[in-house]
Amino acid sequence: MSSRSAEEATDDAVFKALADPTRRRLLDELFVADGQTLGALEQRFDMTRFGVMKHLKALEDAGLILTQRRGRQKLHYLNPVPIRLIHDRWVSKYAEPWVAGMSILKRELETTMEKIYEIYIKTTPERLWEAITDPSVRSKYQFGVRVMSDWTTGSPISLEADKATGPLGEGEVLEAEPPRRLVHTMRALWSEEVAAEGFSRVTWEIEPVGDSCRLLLTHDDLRETASPEIYGGWPMILSGLKTWLESGELLTTPGSLRYA
């Protein structure tokens, strides 16, 4: 299957999943309160438990939700990355930039303790690891920001950009297992508001799948009312990462040229 036909199959699955109003309601419920159990979601719908399970399975198959085990509970999380990709491929080219910005603001303003994102990229674990840790490559898809570190356990991390008056962020490497797992803290510094949020944690997990890689990014240790500026950019960053590795092209997203 060509990369183009694979994209079409992914788009078809997302559009099909979103066509059902019940599934759209489920996504709205997770948008409001992420990480819910089946029992909690079931209470909000006038249908059987089995019916809710079927809709959740359809959303999971389309990549629109992710599940994580917490002890005996199975939690469901909204994964906005496929919707972000649909937006980039089908919506943004027809919309004025200010309209796109308002749409992103509406969809991505969420407050939660933990955010989980999943994306599949046609590349090798080694190339993906390099794209995450090489500052010059990182700046191509992370709004022109270079992330500086030697990526060994205990090493400091600094987010830097030419047009910034100082560092845009800081952190420390907690775990580094190239090319499969990277865990680090992060504290945003681009404004007094975000700096007051303190440190959160970002985990990158890379798993080879055939000729591609599954990248699971978890951003946790966030305050329940943390500023969306801290985590709202991940769908755009991951979309840009996928585009760069698969095509060598830059993906223009709102804010992508801010520090370039």
- The domains found in the chain, sorted by start residue, are 3-79 (1.10.10.10), 112-247 (3.30.530.20)
| pLDDT at residue 98, rounded to an integer | 47
What residues contact 147, with CB distance under 8 A and at least 6 apart?
A: 133, 135, 138, 157, 158, 159
Instruction: Kindly state the percentage of the chain with pLDDT values over 90.
Output: 61
Condensed to tens digits (0 to 9), the pLDDT of residues 201-212 reads: 999 999 999 999
Single pTM value for the model = 0.64
Q: What are the C-alpha distances in Å from 150 to residues 142, 154, 155, 255?
A: 18, 10, 7, 27
Q: Is the pLDDT of residue 91 over 70?
A: no
What's the whole-number average pLDDT of the chain? Answer: 87
Q: Answer for the pair 215, 92: CB distance below 8 angstroms, yes or no.
A: no
Bigger pLDDT: 187 or 82? Answer: 187
Tokens representing residue 175 in the block: 């775990």
Overall average pLDDT of the 229-240 stretch: 92
| pLDDT at residue 107, rounded to an integer | 45
The three-state secondary structure class of 162 is coil
| pLDDT at residue 111, rounded to an integer | 43
